[in-house]
A and B are shown apart, each in its own frame.
Chain A
Amino acid sequence: MSEDVDAEFLGQEGLAVTGKARMEAAYGSGDGDEELTAQVAQSSVVGGTIFEQKYRPWRGELNPRWMRNWSILRHHLLGIVKKGHKPWGWPMRMALLSCFFVAMGDLSLAFLGTVIGDSDIYRLFGVSRGNLYGHVLGFFPRNAICFPVITALLIGGMISDDRRHGTSAVYFSRPINRRDYTAMKFISIAVILGLLIVGTLVLYYVGDILMRGEGWAWLIDTFPAFLLAALAGTILVFTYTSIGLALSSVSQGRFFPAVAFMAIILGSKLLAFLVWQLFERSVIYLISPYDVVAHIGQSLLGLSSDYSHPWTWSLVSMLLMNATALYVLTSRIASMEVSRE
């Protein structure tokens, strides 16, 4: 141990960290092998250097706009099933899975009716205009619990998280404009909701065909109703997404947008129901996003309407709701800061 080494390692002065280690034999025989040593590691690193900071340039090409937009979409969608993308959290995943099973309940019961040969069960749950409508726009349990809860969980942190964590700076200091940012966030939510609402409708319809081996005449008979139900489901997805994202864009937390969304969907429905009970005027349902879409859906599918006012009023109400929500969404995103929030 030399005196002039100004170093201390593991409590011993003068001991430099050289990368070499010495290990004494642990189990000697005691007949002179106490002095034996085993060298277990040899390092070529000089002077204990373990980190060399070296700048590495990059000369690659950056992909165009569509690839940047795809990366936003991919980040949000893959986060549902994969780590390394947007962390959705297990409550959202569990709720999504539960709602998927609920949404597939009609197909399961139709399958049961077919298997046991009970035509009454099939009539109740098999493909028909009423059941296609009910699959996307039925109130309980789908639009009373499943779809609003899933939408609330999805939109809760969609934009508000970017405000809270300042991640909007990562987006806007890159060649991503606010229109693309808004569109990709919207599409991300709409795709997940669409898979749950319209995607399960497709599974329901196709599953029924495969289960019963339906022929062309049945297909020609039911396919327009299926398409119209899909259209009604798409309107529902669009309306829920625009209202939900508008709420997410005005907040910095997850709780407010989620609760506010549930309050708007269920509260307006409840209020309209109470007023209707008192005054028997269905026009009050124009304030309820669910009911305006349901009214449009009933008209599209040619079902007897639950509402006494013209369906075009509901169409106008739905357009106004979406326009207002999209206006709030775009104006709030336009005000998102890149330097500080």
Chain B
Amino acid sequence: MESRSEAIRADENLKVYGRPRQNRVAAMVENVIQTNSLTKAYGPHIALDSMNLKVQHGATGLLGPNGAGKSTLIKTLLGLITATEGEGEVLGFNIRTEGEEIRKRIGYMPEYDCLDPRLSAVDQIKYSGELLGMNPSVATQRAHEVLEYVGLRDQRYREIGTFSTGMAQAAKLATSIIHDPQLLIADEPTNGLDTQARDFMLGTVTQIVQEGGRSMLMASHLMDDVEKVCSRIVMLHKGKLIAQGRIEDLKGIDQEIEVHAWGGATKLEQELNNSGLKVRRTGRVLRIIKDDDDAYSTIVEAATKTGCQIRRMHDHEPSLEDLFLVIMERLGYEVKSSEDLLATGPSARKVDAPEELKG
């Protein structure tokens, strides 16, 4: 349990601030994004609360319910709004004073439509390159390259207004990678996509990270998407950073044994609780926290004692969804699935927050 709290806790000993510019490359290798007590308040409302964020090179998922502060964080990192307190660096550049330098080096793919529907794809991508400072001829050549890369080669002369959702998302991705950015910030890149287009989009962004050697911060509501692409996550809630780190490390904290019981699951659950094991149960499936290797024998003994039949028993590989639920339970929420909390419905947002989260 101690290791989980350590993993969730933000590291407050950041030491890269004030570092000379020539050492920024070295800092970038460590963290592409780093903030120290970053706070953004809109009057009495605190959108970001003393956030100590560390995003390392590679793909990182940005998770959080609506109103968690994801958009505010992205805007602050882009240097578009000024933080109320605290410091931050993106790719070694200060978010307060070097917003333009940051925006030259990152690619931002917004969640919502951001392309002119009356322009052809190649003209739109070319213009977005020119807005970065590319020569028109270079921007044209590069626009063709990136459109081919995102699978729109044959559609590049079509007006964007005639595109399907998947094609429009691909065009948005092309817009954000025309200058081969060091860091790609993708806000819900699979929004509205069907399975095939979603797989292609996830494969493409994964390739940008793995083959292109670029970093990515991917905000998403879909745990599966984040888990497919990202090795690390940052989780926000009500403006606070509640978890960050490698997904595998975060998931490894609570190892569970999954037991499929038959005939007496309730008795088995009681017996396991009496034995000091922590049990979660849904029908005939029980998940028992594996504190040590003796847990298996304890379960078998309890089954023998209660006469319950064990049909299956194995180590449970937790998903990001499980991790999310555990974290939310730790924060005092009663949620059945991540969708309960991440959904846009107003009832989902009425979940009472504990006092430490200013609920």
Task: Kindly state the separation between the CA atoms of A51 and B153 in the bound complex, as whole angstroms.
Answer: 10
> Is there a chain B Cβ closer than 8 Å to A213's Cβ?
no
> Is there a chain A Cβ closer than 8 Å to B295's Cβ?
no
Stretch at the interface among A21-29, A122-130, A146-154, A173-181: A173-181
> Is there a chain A Cβ closer than 8 Å to B78's Cβ?
yes
Within 8 A of B (CB), among A59-81: 59-60, 62-65, 67-68, 71-72, 74-75
Task: Kindly state the separation between the CA atoms of A62 and B104 in the bound complex, as whole angstroms.
Answer: 8
B108 near A338: Cβ-Cβ < 8 Å: yes
Stretch at the interface among B118-126, B221-229, B232-240, B252-260: B118-126
Chain A residues with Cβ below 8 Å from B99 are 175
Task: Kindly state the separation between the CA atoms of A172 and B176 in the bound complex, as whole angstroms.
Answer: 12
Task: Kindly state the separation between the CA atoms of A124 and B113 in the bound complex, as whole angstroms.
Answer: 55
> Is there a chain B Cβ closer than 8 Å to A326's Cβ?
no
Interface size on B, residues (CB 8 A): 52
B123 near A60: Cβ-Cβ < 8 Å: no
B142 near A338: Cβ-Cβ < 8 Å: no
Size class of the contact patch on chain A: 35 or more
Task: Kindly state the separation between the CA atoms of A60 and B179 in the bound complex, as whole angstroms.
Answer: 8
> Is there a chain B Cβ closer than 8 Å to A85's Cβ?
yes
Stretch at the interface among A35-43, A106-114, A161-169, A226-234: A161-169
B135 near A63: Cβ-Cβ < 8 Å: yes
A contacts with B: majority SS? loop
Chain A residues with Cβ below 8 Å from B132 are 62, 68, 174-175
Task: Kindly state the separation between the CA atoms of A266 and B88 in the bound complex, as whole angstroms.
Answer: 52
From B112, B115, B117, B119, A340 is in contact (CB under 8 Å) with B112
A339 near B212: Cβ-Cβ < 8 Å: no
Chain A residues with Cβ below 8 Å from B179 are 58, 60, 62
A60 near B138: Cβ-Cβ < 8 Å: yes
Given contacts A54-B149, A174-B103, A339-B187, 11 further A-B contacts (CB under 8 A): A55-B211, A59-B180, A62-B134, A84-B123, A87-B118, A161-B116, A170-B127, A173-B106, A340-B71, A340-B111, A341-B112
Supply 26 A–B pairs (Cβ within 8 Å), ascending by A.
Answer: A55-B149, A55-B212, A57-B180, A58-B145, A60-B138, A63-B134, A67-B135, A68-B133, A71-B131, A75-B130, A83-B123, A84-B123, A161-B116, A165-B114, A165-B115, A165-B116, A173-B103, A173-B108, A173-B176, A175-B100, A175-B101, A176-B131, A338-B78, A339-B111, A339-B112, A341-B112
Residues in chain B within 8 A of chain A (CB atoms) = 71, 74-75, 78, 80, 99-101, 103-104, 106, 108, 110-120, 123, 126-128, 130-136, 138, 142, 145, 149, 151, 153, 175-176, 178-180, 187, 203-204, 207-208, 211-212
